[in-house]
Structure 1
Amino acid sequence: MSGQPDFSINSLFSVKGKVALVTGGGAGIGKMMAAALVQNGAKVYIASRKLQVVEETARELTAVGPGQCIALQADLQGRAQAEALAAQIAARETKLHILINNSGMSWGSPLENFDEKNGWDRLMALNVKAMFYMTAALMPLLRAGANGNADPARVINIRLVPTPSRAREPSSVASVQTLSEGPLSGPDNGTWSYSASKAAVNQLSRTMASTLSKQVHEPQSDFISVNVIAPGVFPSRMTKYGIEKAGELMAADQPMGRIGIPEDLAGLTLFLSSRASSHLTGTVIPIDGGQSLGVSGLARL
């Protein structure tokens, strides 16, 4: 209708031509999100410490198209590694429209013998510190990628349910759970530091959202939104143990009666990466079939 806003899907949810970086994008949650962007015309860089994994994923996603997926190697343990990855992006692009901080790790072991170096130092460095420095190092490209406050640049931080492994992928429900042991963690194992790291990501994301939307670089605003996706149980390396041991219980114990599927994440990814969410920042969005409502047994783990 003449004079009416364009509310078409192509206008509101388009990511065609946008440039994105998905850390930990070779498998699991990261791969699902990267695939959603590529299939809708975005140019997506995926990064992981295992180059072969991201190269295989990049070929797979590019073959489907119509966007493009490019593999980069990065082991995000702190500031130096984050800045090195940012330099790789800056050597190829002048703008970055979407940053998805998905890399992370979990660690589970008994409380009395919890490994300090891996369980706390490495985990907090990757899950919290690297996320912060990754965002900071890409600020020039994100500012350049912002199209005013009608279509800001996006930072999307991800979280997931942990297991006692060294799987390098993040977590969500863990940030609000008060217990660190359960079907996902294995007998007599707890993911103590993991839950703490995800709560830290929660708060850090909110404070960054407040700062990056304001005019902190006068006279031009940054216009960068920061939001958090808090997935429940989705198929991945991190949740493989729990699904194998208690998959039916997990599905039955969630209000929607199933665990997550790729389509669930794809839709939310497109929403948060497009104009449809341009007035949304500082939010934590659970995508867990109602688990976070506290009406299921798993929500009390």
Structure 2
Amino acid sequence: MKWDLEHRRAVITGAANGIARATAHLLASDGARLVLVDLDADKLAITAEQCRKSGAEQVETFAADLTDGDAVHRLGEFVTSTMDGLDLLIPAAGIIGREPIVEMPDEHWDRIMNINVRAVFQLNRELLPLMADGGSVVLFSSDAGRRGSPGKAAYATSKAAIIGLARSIVGEVGRRQIRVNIVAPGFIDTRMNAETFAVKGDVLAEETPLGRNGRPEEVASVIAFLCSDAASFVNGAVVPINGGHYMAG
């Protein structure tokens, strides 16, 4: 499905892989102007070239570690110089970790919080002042953030924190007609879930009412909808994308 995102200026982080890459491709085919961000410069360049071939009006790349606050500031300057502002912010970069709470070192907790929460906070702080009225922000939670996940306490906590962050920002930027929504993917076939899928991918698919696991493109389509004028009165929503695997609201 296509959405009218022509000329919209978007920043997408984590764009070298997975859901963020699929989102970049979809927005490119809708004619958006893109700033793609990732730590992996080589894979980022591949995504950028694919987006140009898909019809993006403009594609820029910014390779950086966004746990570095200076890099986030430089990204803001880069967006200003290349796009002269912003319409869409999609901070999709994130990591997962598996460690029982009683064995979890501080370094594990800190790394996940720095990437999944602190960097997202800093991106919003830096880029929201550049965003045009009527813009859209889509943040990433997960089913783990809504329900918890044994063995992944740091990850689940980070994704629960994103919901609180997003809904707080809603009250600060709403009068500018900037909408902030959250997607909460379930088991999607990405590199992040490769280890889980290798062990029990078939079981997870069987447990899902639709009888399969999700694809990155299926999350990207929801993100594109939330970025579009079709979602003009959707604000502060948490959208589960899990095929019905978890039925709790």
Q: State whether TM-score is above 0.5.
A: yes
**Which of residues 157, 178, 184 in structure 2 aligns to 1:196?**
157
Aligned-partner residue type, residue 206 of structure 2: A
Matched, 1:155 2:125: no
Q: Spell out the pairing of 1:22-171 with structure 2 (5 A cutoff).
A: 22-117=12-107, 119-142=108-131, 145-146=132-133, 152-159=134-141
Aligned partners of 2:27 and 2:56 also within 8 Å? no
Change (3 A) 1:286 1:241: same
SS at match of 2:234: coil
Aligned partners of 1:45 and 1:70 also within 8 Å? yes
Distance 1:179 1:266 in 2: 24
Q: CA deviation at 1:108?
A: 1.7
Aligned-partner residue type, residue 190 of structure 2: S
Matched, 1:248 2:202: yes
Structure richer in strand, relative to its length:
2
Aligned-partner residue type, residue 58 of structure 1: A
Correspondence for 2:236 = 282
**Which of residues 229, 236, 243 in structure 1 aligns to 2:183?**
229
Q: Spell out the pairing of 1:3-22 with structure 2 (5 A cutoff).
A: 13-22=3-12
- Percent identical: 29
**Which of residues 206, 211, 221 in structure 1 aligns to 2:167?**
206
Q: CA deviation at 1:272?
A: 0.8
Change (3 A) 1:68 1:250: farther
Aligned-partner residue type, residue 191 of structure 1: K
SS at match of 1:279: coil
Aligned-partner residue type, residue 173 of structure 1: D
Distance 2:56 2:73 in 1: 30
**Structure 1 vs Structure 2 CA RMSD:** 1.8
The number of residue pairs the alignment matches comes to 249
Aligned partners of 1:55 and 1:70 also within 8 Å? no
Q: CA deviation at 1:28?
A: 0.3
Deviations 1:160-212 (A, max 9, x none): xxxxxxxxxxxx011122342xxxxxxxxx21111111111111111111211
Between 267-276 and 70-79, report the one with greater CA deviation: 70-79
TM-score, length-normalised on structure 1? 0.78
Q: CA deviation at 1:109?
A: 2.3
Distance 1:84 1:122 in 2: 21
Distance 2:72 2:116 in 1: 12
Structure 1 unaligned segments of length 5 or more: list them.
Answer: 1-8, 147-151, 160-171, 181-189, 215-221, 296-301
Aligned-partner residue type, residue 224 of structure 1: I
TM-score, length-normalised on structure 2? 0.93
Matched, 1:177 2:138: no
Aligned-partner residue type, residue 45 of structure 2: E
Deviations 1:136-162 (A, max 9, x none): 1012221xx22xxxxx10110023xxx
Change (3 A) 1:178 1:64: closer
Aligned-partner residue type, residue 147 of structure 2: Q
Matched, 1:270 2:224: yes
Structure 2 unaligned segments of length 5 or more: list them.
Answer: none
Aligned-partner residue type, residue 154 of structure 1: S
Structure showing greater Rg: 1
Aligned-partner residue type, residue 132 of structure 1: F
Structure richer in helix, relative to its length:
2
